[in-house]
Amino acid sequence: MRNPPPQAVRLSEYRPTDFLIDTVDLDICLHRTQTRVVARLALRRNPKGRADVPLTLDGDGLVLRGLKLNGRAMDAGDYDATPDRLALHKAPDAPFTLEIETEIDPSANTQLTGLYRSGSAYCTQCEAEGFRRITYFLDRPDVLGVYTTRIEADKSEAPVLLSNGNPAQSGDLADGRHFAVWRDPFPKPSYLFALVGGDLGCIRRTFTTRSGRDVALAIYVEHGKEDRAHYAMDALARAMRWDEDTFGREYDLDVFNIVAVSDFNMGAMENKGLNIFNDKYVLASPQTATDSDYAGIEAVIAHEYFHNWTGNRITCRDWFQLCLKEGLTVFRDQEFSSDQRSRAVERIGDVRGLRLAQFPEDSGPLAHPVRPEVYNEINNFYTATVYEKGAELIRMLKTLIGDADFRRGMDLYFERFDGTAATVEDFLSCFADVSARDLTHFTLWYAQAGTPIVTAKSAYDENAKSFALTLSQHTPPTPGQSDKRPLLIPISLALFGENGERLDLASPDASASECARGLVELATASRTITFAGVASRPVASLLRGFSAPVRLEPAPLSDDLERLLAFDDDPFNRWQAAQSLALRSIFARVDSLRGSGAAPDDRAFFDALRRLVETGDDDPAFAAQTLALPSETDLAREVGQNVDPDILFCARNSLRRALGGALGDRLEAAHARLGDARPYSPDAASAGRRALRNASLDLVAAGDPAKGEALAKRQFDDATNMTDKLAALAVLALLGGDAREAAFTRFYEQFAGDALVIDKWFALQSTIPEEATTARVHRLMRRDDFSLLNPNRVRSVVGAFASANPTRFHALDGSGYTLLENIVLELDPKNPQLAARLLTALRSWRTLEARRRDLAEAALRRVLAAPNLSRDVNDIATRALA
Ligand code: BES
Ligand code: ZN
């Protein structure tokens, strides 16, 4: 079978819906293979839609069992039902009700959208277009209805029955069955519908809102795991308070429920009043979760909660506006984490993530604007660009208009658009209104894809005592956008004098406010600013705090980097200086490995890092980030073309060994000093100490493998928390040999049956950078505890291999690409969303050196040539090759 031609959906073709659905009454009778769904819809024609058109509802794989119009069974000739569509040839002009009965099989649902089973529970995932797999509907985000949901089930199989809104009624029925009715008074789009039925344990807590209303919070988990939900509950309460304090947003229902399931395509979902989570983002105990797992839980719990206002109360008019809820909500969760933890450490982590995932996306064939203009499959647009770059645009907006106007703009947005399905223009209009600024130029960030390159050139004039800074920008072409216009780029800057003192900025070329704020706006292709009264050649700190999602070139001179690392009062740029120095050293090592150029002189750089290890205890998390070398993926991105992952790996390792060797005793001392006898606590300060301690261990092992192995073995045996245990195992994994295999075996024995921990066991093995790993990954996938049906497990093996093991994934014999290709094709009929996501690992194929480029392209072409591809995989393969 040939693959069907993709059906492009275009923003320019948006039309208001022809029908509205004011109320939705669902009656759902849960059954493992034959669930019955009766949907009573109150429909009417949309005054803003077209008159006289027939009614066509969306479906996906549905079986129609009954259809009534205004209470009367419809004649077969008056409608047309296929699995994908229900069309009424003639729809009434007056408001009418439609009663639709469908039958669905949750047990056969392996794609994990619509109604499916996870373990013994029933659950749903409707975003973006999953509701149409439950009943026929106008499954688009601008159709808002008030939902009442009655769920009926076998009481022993599913004692817990949950849906959106507040509980309205429940009771027992004959034959061991029971029911529950839920009413959600807030009009919502279908993608926010949710239902859960199952035998689950739960923990509860009451939250009193600022205005004094009590909200019953509950988190439902697998029986026996209740103890592991307390951190998530604590994070939820903190997020609720933070949204009141920071954005004035209160929760609005009487209950807020979270359910953790083990089979979930994404991280979590913000269904109104009933968030459904991948259990990875709920369950934590010191023995099973790492510090970064705890941080992830805190962030995702907050993110989904924050959607209640940015996503649910105000939703998206259409899926092109996805960043309206996702970019904004990522910004909000980043701000929350900054306030709960360390702002600098959070910012560095967020920018690392942006560069790792979004920059490559933005420079490859899958590049698209933060607000795309066309899609074939919307599920492929939940991307780093929509999310992470989308969050950066909000951050820039706040930087440009200032904190006070940003808050006033948000207030106005909530006031003006509450209860509606809004657009990016709606959102921006609020900020333009409160700040009296014309934001037209800024809007281009939403439409123009690609990462701008900002070039900074400077010249110091000794006689005039002036410092001229020329900032230029250009954005490389991206698919479908060959000509780029200059963007409005806020560039935060400072100048430092000889002794590291901050200089006052004064320039005839910049406004008083630009000088006072240290924030210049680059709105044209190039701009020169000459600063006056500069007594000696200064050091410029540019793009402080990463004030815009751009690449800054060239990196400053080594001398300047060393000075910035020593005294820049912007911690982000201090960290950036260390990264730039590391990059410089690694690329010098690449040259010397290739036989051109001498080994670099890293003495000053190493001295700075040594001081950091010695004195880093006051901010150990920052010190750990600064010690961490750029990853292989970072290096590949910086190289940009003709990438040879092997040589990057060698050069990076050569720096690791040199650094570990040079700092060995200080690192060992730090490792000893930072050991903590107190009971584990996941707070940021304790986590920071563990991070620096484990970064030290890693470098000790790089410099002195025997010593590293001894320390790691001891830490592995003694560790009472997963952070230290896994860090030790990771060091042993790199060192190889019997110690490694013994540790993996013991780890498995200790945690067998604990899926989230065993995922770590799989992932760590899949990322070992050595030749035997590909065969190991094949072995892992043949194990009984590997399953293509569980996304976490697939990601832990295949995802980790393809995204975090560059030398093996890009092996010169093509074995890594073939592995991915085969899994994608095997997975596609079962779970196309997950298959498509895995395939994006090949998106940067054009940046590889010629032999790998050919192999990767061939793998993509074979995928594209396979029969019966899903729309998801077809779309990724097609665009990746275009
Ligand atoms: N709305 C999304 C979940 C989603 C994504 C559903 C795609 C359907 C398709 C949710 O709010 C979300 O963004 N989740 C993120 C985690 C978040 C912290 C960025 C996720 O699942 O990765
Ligand atoms: Zn989200």
Q: What is the per-residue pLDDT across 775-814, written as a single tens digit (0 to 9) for each?
A: 999 999 999 999 999 999 999 999 999 999 999 999 999 9
Q: Check if 304 has its Cβ closer than 6 Å to any atom of ligand 1.
A: yes
Residue with the smallest CA separation from ligand 1 atom 10 is: 269
Spatial separation of the C-alpha atoms in residues 357 and 654, rounded to whole Å: 25
Over residues 276-289, the pLDDT tens digits come to: 999 999 999 999 99
| 274/653 Cα distance (integer angstroms) | 47
Tell me, in angstroms, the distance from the centre of ligand 2 to residue 539's CA: 40
What ligand 1 atom has the least distance to the C-alpha of 299?
18
| Cα(277) to centroid(ligand 1), Å | 10
Nearest-CA residue for ligand 1 atom 2 is: 269
* Nearest CA owner, ligand 1 atom 7: 382
Going by CA atoms, what residue is nearest to atom 17 of ligand 1?
Answer: 300
Average pLDDT value for residue range 709-717 = 98
C-beta 306 within 6 A of ligand 1: no
Of ligand 1's listed atoms, the one at least distance from the Cα of 113 is 8
Which residue owns the Cα nearest ligand 1 atom 18? 300
Q: Is the CB of 270 under 6 A from ligand 1?
A: yes
Q: Is 301 in the pocket of ligand 1 (CB under 6 A)?
A: no
Strand 315-316 relative to strand 421-422, pairing: parallel
Task: Write the residue with the smallest CA distance to atom 21 of ligand 1.
Answer: 267
Give me the mean pLDDT over the 618-647 stretch: 98
Q: Quick check: helix, strand or coil at residue 633? A: helix
Q: What is the mean pLDDT of the chain?
A: 98
CA of 93 relative to ligand 1 center, distance in Å? 38
Rounded average pLDDT over 453-467: 98
CB of 267 shorter than 6 A to ligand 1: yes
Contacting residues for 744 by C-beta, under 8 A, at least 6 apart: 729, 733, 761, 764, 765
Ligand 1 binding pocket includes 127 (Cβ within 6 Å): yes
Q: Which candidate in 99, 270, 298, 304 is catalytic?
A: 304
State how far the Cα of 97 lies from the Cα of 38, in Å rounded to an integer: 12
Query: Rounded distance, CA 358 to CA 365, Å?
Result: 12
Residue 389: pLDDT above 80? Answer: yes
Confidence (pLDDT) at 617: 86
Nearest residue (CA) to ligand 1, atom 22: 267
Q: Which backbone phi and psi does 385 adopt, to 5 degrees? A: -70, -50
Q: How far is the CA of 269 from the centre of ligand 1 (A)?
A: 6
Ligand 1 center to 708 CA (angstroms): 39
38-61 burial, b if ≥16 CB within 10 A, otherwise e?
bbbbbbebbeeeeeeeebbbbbbe
The tokens for 803 are 């995204």
Cα 266 to averaged position of ligand 1 atoms, centre (Å): 6
Write b or e for each residue in 362-382: b if 16 or more Cβ atoms lie within 10 A of its Cβ, otherwise e.
bbbbbbbbbbbbebbbbbbbb
What are the phi and psi torsion angles at 474 (to 5°)? Answer: -155, 150
Q: Ligand 1 centre from 303 Cα, in Å?
A: 9
Angle at 581 between CA 359 and CA 546, to 5 degrees: 40
- What 3 state SS string does 252-283 have? CCCEEEEEEECCCCCCEECCCCEEEEEHHHCC
Indicate the top mutation candidate among 192, 269, 278 to test ligand 1's pocket, ranked by most ligand atoms within 8 A of CB: 269
> 307 CB under 6 A from ligand 1?
yes
Name which of 374, 354, 351, 371 is nearest 363 in CA terms: 354
Q: For the segment 522-576, what is each residue's pLDDT rounded down to a tens digit?
A: 999 999 999 999 999 999 999 999 999 999 999 889 899 999 999 999 999 999 9
Tell me the best of 236, 266, 337 to mutate to test the pocket of ligand 1, counting ligand atoms within 8 Å of each CB and taking the most: 266
| The pLDDT value given to residue 4 | 65
Question: 677 with 720: CB under 8 angstroms?
Answer: no
Determine the 3-state secondary structure of 717 from DSSP: helix
Phi, psi (deg, nearest 5) at residue 46: -80, 120
Which residue has its alpha carbon closest to ligand 1 atom 6?
127
HSE, CB side, 13 Å, CA atoms: give it for residue 740: 15
Ligand 1 atom at shortest distance from the alpha carbon of 333: 18
Ligand 1 pocket test, pick from 113, 328, 382 with the greatest ligand atom count within 8 Å of Cβ, gives 382
pLDDT score of 599: 87
Q: So what's the pLDDT on residue 2?
A: 55
Digit-coded pLDDT (tens) for 88-106: 999 999 999 999 999 999 9
Map tokens 């003495």 to a residue. Answer: 603
Q: For residue 862, give both structure tokens.
A: 């074979």
The Å distance, Cα 329 to ligand 2 centre, comes to 6
| Mean of pLDDT values over 124-148 | 99
Is the per-residue pLDDT at 843 higher than 80?
Answer: yes
Confidence of residue 597 (pLDDT cuts 50, 70, 90): confident
Q: Label residue 224 by pLDDT band (50, 70, 90).
A: very high
In this predicted structure, the answer to whether residue 327 has a pLDDT above a threshold of 60 is yes
Number of H helices, E strands in the chain: 30, 31
- Per DSSP, the residues of 213-254 read -EEEEEEEESTT-GGGGHHHHHHHHHHHHHHHHHH-PPP-SS
Adjacent-strand bridge partners of 528: 470
What is the distance in A from the centroid of ligand 2 to the CA of 325? 7
Q: Does residue 330's CB lie within 6 angstroms of at least one atom of ligand 1?
A: yes
| Mean pLDDT for the stretch of residues 108-118 | 98
The answer, yes or no, to whether residue 56 has pLDDT greater than 90, is yes
Q: Does residue 266's CB lie within 6 angstroms of at least one atom of ligand 1?
A: yes
Residue count (the chain):
882
Q: Is 304 a catalytic residue?
A: yes
**Contact partners, residue 653, CB within 8 Å, separation at least 6:** 702
The pLDDT value given to residue 308: 99
Q: 14 or 676: which carries more pLDDT confidence?
A: 14
Pocket lining: 297 vs ligand 1, CB cutoff 6 Å: no
Radius of gyration of the chain, Cα coordinates, nearest whole angstrom: 28
Confidence of residue 177 (pLDDT cuts 50, 70, 90): very high
**Per-residue confidence (pLDDT) for residue 80, from 0 to 100:** 98
Ligand nearest to C-alpha 127: 1
Asked whether the predicted pLDDT for residue 716 surpasses 90, the reply is: yes
Ligand 1 within 6 A of CB of 299: yes
pLDDT at 122 (0 to 100): 99
Distance 823 CA to ligand 1 centre (A): 24
How do residues 392-413 score in pLDDT, each as one tens digit? 999 999 999 999 999 999 999 9
pLDDT tens digits, one per residue of 735-788: 999 999 999 999 999 999 999 999 999 999 999 999 999 999 999 999 999 999
Ligand 1 contacts CB of residue 243 (under 6 A)? no
